[in-house]
Structure 1
Amino acid sequence: MTKDKSIFIKNIYYMLSYAFTTLKESVYDDIQKESFENIHNLFAAILAKGIGLQLKQGLYREYINRVETLPVVRGKIDMPGTIRNRLGRRQVVTCDYDELSENNLLNQILKSTVFLLLRQRDVDEKYKAELKKEMLFFSEVDQIELQHIRWSDIRFQRNNRTYQLLLVICQLLIEGSLLTTESGEYRLASFVDEQRMSRLYEKFILEYYAQEFGQRLKGFSSRALQIPWQLDDGYDALLPVMQTDITLTYGNQTLIIDAKYYERTLQTNFDVQTLHSGNMYQIFTYVKNKEAELEGTGHQVSGMLLYAKTDEDLVPDNVYQMSGNQISVKTLDLNQEFPEIAGQLNKIVEDHFMVMLPDAV
């Protein structure tokens, strides 16, 4: 059984809505009220709404370089091409120019992902019909080979920031797809792979605390921070960056949370189950270096491994006292209605910092 089978499909929507606050806009209200049988219908619904909103604002356009043979000069004359035209006695000019075009990578990814969804049997016809109508406005946009997309090259700025949520949905869909051997066409898997869900899980928890506590509890912060190595001589060549998933700070206390989304929470050695050793070493290292950084300030630093619950019988819920610091291991059950998930997250902060969330969810 794949891991996201134990997560209500609607909860992935809520996780996305915290990770990308665009989903909280009124245009997406109808999605909140729907029930979804599979994740592809959820993503199809979000894309249909989001692309519709983007069409009202206008598709993103950017300058694309073109070299074409034209009857009149446009842009710069390409001399080698123009000389070849003259030698061939053609009364045309080869021009090198930039054209503002909708046929750019962002729109190409959207179109290609939509056509991937349209080929899937488990996507409801109502979503397919809406997406097909929207694709009429993409007639000038090319489809591209999905496996060749280099996601790391995509940059968002002021003019295309509204595409960020849509491109994340596309990436989740494309990288969770399988290639069939018989027809050579893409077939969507019934799950999103563990690595992608892990990133969403981390960002969801970070943004949940930032929005629910950080915006309503004065002095509370939720950030993903880097922790500097506390070195005796300052020599840090080849040392890895210590980047926390979530660092919660309130008053004179800091709680560093490492969010872990695994198919299996525990490791087994010689039939003995234990926590993943690397996870424990990592959070301990974060805590001790942060404590050393704040030495003399009276600040207390603790750590937590927050695992997404699996179908394993043993559910970690432990608190350890290690070298003067508290290191806890908790489990977040995503297989519940969202208010219950919010309650679990609230309780972590309320118990640790001894505070109550104003107007709690």
Structure 2
Amino acid sequence: MKSIPIANLYYMLCYAWGILPPLGARRTSFDDFSSPAEIIGSEICRMSTAIVKRHLAVSFVSDLERTRRPRGKINFTQSVRESGYKRKILVCSSPSTSIDTLPNRILKAALALLARQESLNAMIRKDAFALEQRLSSVSTITADRSAFTRLSNLILPKTYRYPMALCELLMLRFSPADGDGSSWFDELYRDEARMRRVFEGFLRGFLQEHMPHAKVGARRFQMADLQVRHGDSGLIPHLNMDVVLEFAQNKSIVIDAKFTANQISSHHGTNKIRSEHFYQIFSYVCNVKATQPSRDVSGLVLYPDVGELEALDFSVCGSNFSFRPIDLSKDWRSIHDGIIDIVHQLESMPSPTGNASNGGTAFPISLA
């Protein structure tokens, strides 16, 4: 399988985990950085700069003050207890704002970690140190798992969601011995089971972001027209579809994400697409058509490009099918445009008739 550049794997994780930066604040290239920690660190610094300048999260606190000039709310109980009224002094509480909030504490902890990480780019360390100093009035904490658990219970401002997710990735995923994060990314890339989930989540998140005219999501269907004559119906598995796109024009595309290098099977010197991959997408499409007969349903199987499979488009039983590789080693713009182009091609493809051919074949196949 072709090696995936760190920047591309980072983008895939962002889409899979739903931690995309705000639309107007997206970086187009990470070519200047050589490690995952540098990519993440540069993004934390970049987003922190905007936060410190304009969007620092604040909390409302109540300040107690002993004064001869009452303001705010008078705390009579405390005033009497301290006998302040004899000295004509009252204890008052007045509301004020503070930037010493949990999100800012976590941000400061992440910046402090970046500033002291010698394996990082000197410019990132310098920027992180400068930003940390600007948060001098924020308490210093150790951002451990409990801190992020408490953070998950808060409603974060929109500008904080992306940097907080990056802080969690930086501080909880990378071990101290893995200063630049390369080991964690390498381990992730070598774990095919985890990469299958990342690839599936990436495609779903990507299409949700870039196909606003379609309803995008995973779908779980029971077999159409299922009738159990004897036994437990719970033993019959559901159909779990990775991604389904539903368009307004009564058209749907079922997408199956296959992160595997084994895309072609060979039998007696003849290469074919893996039969289980075809039967799976075929059953998905047939089931959707059975439950939604008015819709034109197509099937799409997407693989990482390993040099085995070329684009294959065909129609069978009244539905269009496409098997396509995606070269994840290319620059991200090519990947971005390639996926959108594949979906648009299948979306605009006319529906086949699905009728038997002149030869009377009951299972007609035509190559596009």
Q: What TM-score do you get using the length of structure 1 for normalisation?
A: 0.63
The answer on 1:60 being equivalent to 2:52 is no
Please name the residue that 1:293 is paired with: 291
Segment drifting more, 118-127 vs 318-327: 318-327
Partner of residue 257 from structure 1, selected from 255, 258, 261? 255
Specify whether residues 188 and 198 from structure 1 end up closer, same or farther in structure 2 by C-alpha distance, changes over 3 A only. Answer: farther
Aligned residue identity for 1:354: S
> 1:189-200 residue pairs with structure 2 within 5 A?
189-190=181-182, 191-192=184-185, 194=188
Specify whether residues 37 and 354 from structure 1 end up closer, same or farther in structure 2 by C-alpha distance, changes over 3 A only. Answer: same
Q: Secondary structure at the match of 2:103?
A: helix
Cα distance in 1 for partners of 2:304, 2:113 equals: 30
Partner of residue 299 from structure 2, selected from 300, 303, 309? 303
Deviation at 1:300, TM superposition (A): 2.8
Deviation at 1:132, TM superposition (A): 0.9
Deviations 1:92-132 (A, max 9, x none): xxx99997543333223222222332333331111111111
Partner of residue 224 from structure 1, selected from 199, 217, 229? 217
Aligned residue identity for 2:342: I
Q: How many residues align?
A: 315
Q: Secondary structure at the match of 1:130?
A: helix
The answer on 1:348 being equivalent to 2:338 is no
- 8 A Cα contact 2:64 2:94, kept in partner: no
Specify whether residues 354 and 314 from structure 1 end up closer, same or farther in structure 2 by C-alpha distance, changes over 3 A only. Answer: same
Aligned residue identity for 2:298: S
Please name the residue that 1:92 is paired with: none
> 1:157-176 residue pairs with structure 2 within 5 A?
157=155, 160-176=157-173
Q: Secondary structure at the match of 1:335?
A: coil
Cα distance in 2 for partners of 1:50, 1:265 equals: 37
- 8 A Cα contact 2:310 2:324, kept in partner: yes
Cα distance in 2 for partners of 1:109, 1:176 equals: 15
Aligned residue identity for 2:173: G
Q: What TM-score do you get using the length of structure 2 for normalisation?
A: 0.62
Partner of residue 339 from structure 1, selected from 327, 333, 336? 333
Deviations 1:16-58 (A, max 9, x none): 8876664542x656x6485322222222221111101011223
Deviation at 1:292, TM superposition (A): 3.3
Partner of residue 245 from structure 2, selected from 248, 261, 275? 248
Specify whether residues 150 and 10 from structure 1 end up closer, same or farther in structure 2 by C-alpha distance, changes over 3 A only. Answer: closer
Aligned residue identity for 2:170: L
Which entry has the higher C-alpha Rg, 1 or 2? 2
Aligned residue identity for 2:246: T
- 8 A Cα contact 1:110 1:167, kept in partner: yes
Q: Secondary structure at the match of 1:60?
A: coil
- 8 A Cα contact 1:156 1:164, kept in partner: no
- 8 A Cα contact 1:206 1:222, kept in partner: no
Cα distance in 2 for partners of 1:189, 1:281 equals: 39
Please name the residue that 1:132 is paired with: 129
- 8 A Cα contact 2:216 2:245, kept in partner: yes
Deviation at 1:325, TM superposition (A): 5.8
Please name the residue that 1:359 is paired with: none
Q: Secondary structure at the match of 1:224?
A: strand
Cα distance in 2 for partners of 1:238, 1:97 equals: 64
Q: Secondary structure at the match of 2:34?
A: coil
Cα distance in 2 for partners of 1:153, 1:228 equals: 35
- Report % sequence identity: 22
Structure 1: stretches of 5+ with no match in the other structure: 87-94, 181-185, 268-273, 356-361
Please name the residue that 2:111 is paired with: 114
- 8 A Cα contact 1:11 1:334, kept in partner: yes
